Amino acid sequence: MARPLRICFVAYRGNMQCGGQGIYLWFLARELARQGHAVDVIVGPPYPDPMPFAGRVIRVQNQMFWAKWFLRDAAQMLPRPQPLRALLPLTFYELAASRLGFLPEPFAFSLRALAAIRRAMQGGRRYDLVHDVQCLGYGLLALRALGLPVVTTVHHPLTVDRRASFVRDQNLRDRIGTMLFYPIGMQSFVARRLDRVLTSSEASAADLQRDFGIRPERIARVANGLDTGIFSPDPAAPRAHDELLCVGRASDPNKGVHTLLRALALLPQRVTLTLVDSPRSEARRWAAELGCGERLHLAGHVSQDELVRLYRRAALVVVPSRHEGFGLPAAEAMACGAPVVATRAGALPELLRVGGGGVLAERDCPESLARQIAGLLEAPERRAELGAQGRAGIARAYGWPRIAARTAAEYRAVLHARTAAAAA
């Protein structure tokens, strides 16, 4: 039997509310620990929920200058209560880069994570491998120079976010800001030099090859995972007849919320939409302009328990995205037995092909989306059939035990290749 591995995760943002990378980090680390591996985590803010399964959790500090600058919170830009700490080289870099419109977090975090790992190793800690979660800072290359294999998970390359930002930009100044903001040159350079790049889908693998120039043999499609105990059906919970649910921020053009609201305007008056987004979301204004404002409910930022309740209640879950590297809301919905209407974009066709719990509409086409929604709302037996198929398909393909075992197999393949190269 193969010995357990010693894994160090590094993630520049760790909280589940800050995106899929926080969810991925927490659940994958937990499942690997359950399978007997030793896991340490080095993580930046916002920090994750408690991780009692980890041997050690090291919280890397930063001042989150970029978020403060984005929110125009200039009064909080200097470190408190020691403002002179802004003159420390790496902190000064973060402050200056944020002020100039760059995203400094991945690079700065990678150097701090490098220092933390070196201190841990000097203190006697030993790792077989480092697993980066979508940071791709230059410090990772120094870890390889120390002799540590490094793999990274990239759910989709930042080029996808940059293209979405260009869609949102209103003028030349905005477009220049978009060009400056994303550290694509650094991330693509680092990704091409790591031992393995793990990703969630065929669509993301293709994006990584095209946009980051990563050779196909260095990419492993391991998929994302889901806790199918938490995200599960409840036969006692009745489903609403005409209530749609969408989980996505209107501020992210990739989520396609405006297209969904245009589709809602085409549907009968009895059909309502619950959108898991901020009460201040611009979706409220869009819906009012389209004449369906009274049929939109903004749920705000909900807890995991409330999200599960919403999935269990919805007649349909709609994922109108322009791109998805995996499509976590669609997977969560299917795991809860909710039928899904998704767009033919990114990884969503692959996810629905595997899960079997929904139908596809054309991307950026409100008429196609409205047609598929209306068809399923008028067919309750078909919805129930899709819900049962989706639950079975997601539990079979994307449960965390399976995904963690596949991830560990990739770790061992990297270690074997290193050993073989050293012996050659």
Note the pTM of the prediction, 2 decimals.
0.92
For residue 71, is pLDDT > 60? no
- Is the pLDDT assigned to residue 323 strictly greater than 60? yes
Helix (H, G, I), strand (E, B) or coil at 61: coil
Contact in structure between 323 and 160 (CB atoms under 8 Å): yes
CB contact at 8 A, 221 and 354: no
Q: How many CA atoms lie within 13 A of 13 on its CB side?
A: 17
* Least reliable range by pLDDT among 144-148, 149-153, 212-216: 144-148
- Give the least confident one: 23-32, 176-185, 186-195: 176-185
**C-alpha separations of 353 from 31, 187, 330, 358 in Å:** 26, 31, 12, 9
Strand partners, 359: 341
Contact 310, 274 (CB under 8 A): yes
Question: In the predicted model, what is the mean pLDDT of the chain?
Answer: 92
pLDDT band at 391 (very low <50, low <70, confident <90, very high): very high
Report the C-alpha gap between 39 and 32 in whole angstroms.
Answer: 8
Residue 253 has pLDDT above 80, yes or no: yes
Query: In 100-203, which ranges are E strands?
Result: 129-133, 150-153, 196-199
**What pLDDT sits at residue 166?**
83
Q: Whole-angstrom Cα distance, residue 77 to residue 90?
A: 15
Is 313 buried (19+), middle (13-18) or exposed (0-12) by CB count in 10 A?
A: middle
